[in-house]
Amino acid sequence: MQSVLPPPPPLPRLPQLSSIQSNYEKVYSIQRFIESFEYNHTGQPFVRITKSRGMSNISLTSKEIIRTALPIQCVEAVFLGCFLSAGMIGTDRIPLSFKSKLGDHSHRHIVLVMRIHGKWGSIGISRRSNLMNKDFVFNSFLDLIEDYKLSYRSCFHRLVKVYIGLPFPHDIYSDVPIKWRALTLKVSPFNRPYLQTALEEFVCNMNKYLEKYLQENSGQALLQPKHSTPTRSSGITYRNRSTQSPRPSKYLPPTQSPTRDRIPYSVPPSTEEDHCPRRNAVEKAYAKGDERARKNRRSHSSSSPLRTVH
């Protein structure tokens, strides 16, 4: 009996985002698009994921994910959400990573946290429905993390740490590496005041931190002039040929200046000594040495025989 294969799953359809839509509607469409992908249960991504690069790499990777339409995990979902929400000016987008424990095993997860008009929420994908996206109903970043903590507890996991990165820039052509972990916080039932203070300070200054980070890592050294003096930290020493003297040629005699005119090819016999005084002196020295060696050989042959040492 011939087996009948099930029909392939439908391909995810890219959401049509328009300027007349509100940011909430755009985020809702992006989340529905992410959920239309199947979850990758193999543990290995089907698309090469590189987190050490900038928004340009995230954009190229997201386009590859959309083109292949293969199952994804939480990291790919963050890439898609960051790429599709890049044009939403005035919206803060922050990567939020979790470390949880179930017995002796540690588990990792990541979502894209967003703040729209003072309300906090998130988008993402997970095997658990309560660990994916969160609606934009939270008044603070801490309230959102506390809700995720309760979701982990319902899955019999214990949330240990959270890692908060700097906001994603909206320039999809930026090559500045993304700062995925700028703040690390330990989660426990007794440190809520500390978490609240640390998160409030981070949220107030995160855009300043991002501007400073972009200025420090914007690659200004690549735009350096050709003959300028590099900084000591770069570890590269450039040779400025316009200010340094030329190197002496190894083919010139040691006593001859590198800027002195060379000896002409045809020299008259009568003026050869004037042009090559060093060569004549060397030849005379060799002649004296040969004469001295001949005298020593004659004196050695006429001397008495060698004495025998007992």
Per-residue pLDDT of the chain (310 residues; tens, 9 = 90+): 567 888 877 888 899 888 889 999 999 999 999 999 999 999 899 999 999 899 999 999 999 999 999 999 999 999 999 999 998 988 999 999 999 999 899 999 999 999 999 999 999 999 999 999 999 999 999 999 999 999 999 999 999 999 999 999 999 999 999 999 999 999 988 788 899 999 999 999 999 999 999 988 876 434 434 433 333 333 333 334 444 444 444 444 454 444 444 444 444 444 444 445 555 665 666 566 666 666 666 665 555 444 444 4
pLDDT at 172: 92
* Amino acid occupying residue 160: V
Query: Cβ–Cβ contacts within 10 Å for residue 76, how many?
Result: 24
**pLDDT (0 to 100) of residue 3:** 73
Q: What is the pLDDT of residue 8?
A: 79
Report d(CA 121, CA 255) in Å as an integer.
80
pTM check: above 0.75: no
- What is the predicted pLDDT for the residue at 123? 97
Q: What is the pLDDT of residue 188?
A: 86
Residue 4 pLDDT? 82
User: For residue range 95-135, what is the model confidence (pLDDT) as tens digits?
Assistant: 999 999 998 999 999 999 999 999 999 999 999 999 999 99
pLDDT given at position 217? 86
pLDDT of residue 176: 93
Task: Quote the CA–CA distance of 186 and 179 in Å, as a whole number.
Answer: 19
pLDDT of residue 204: 95
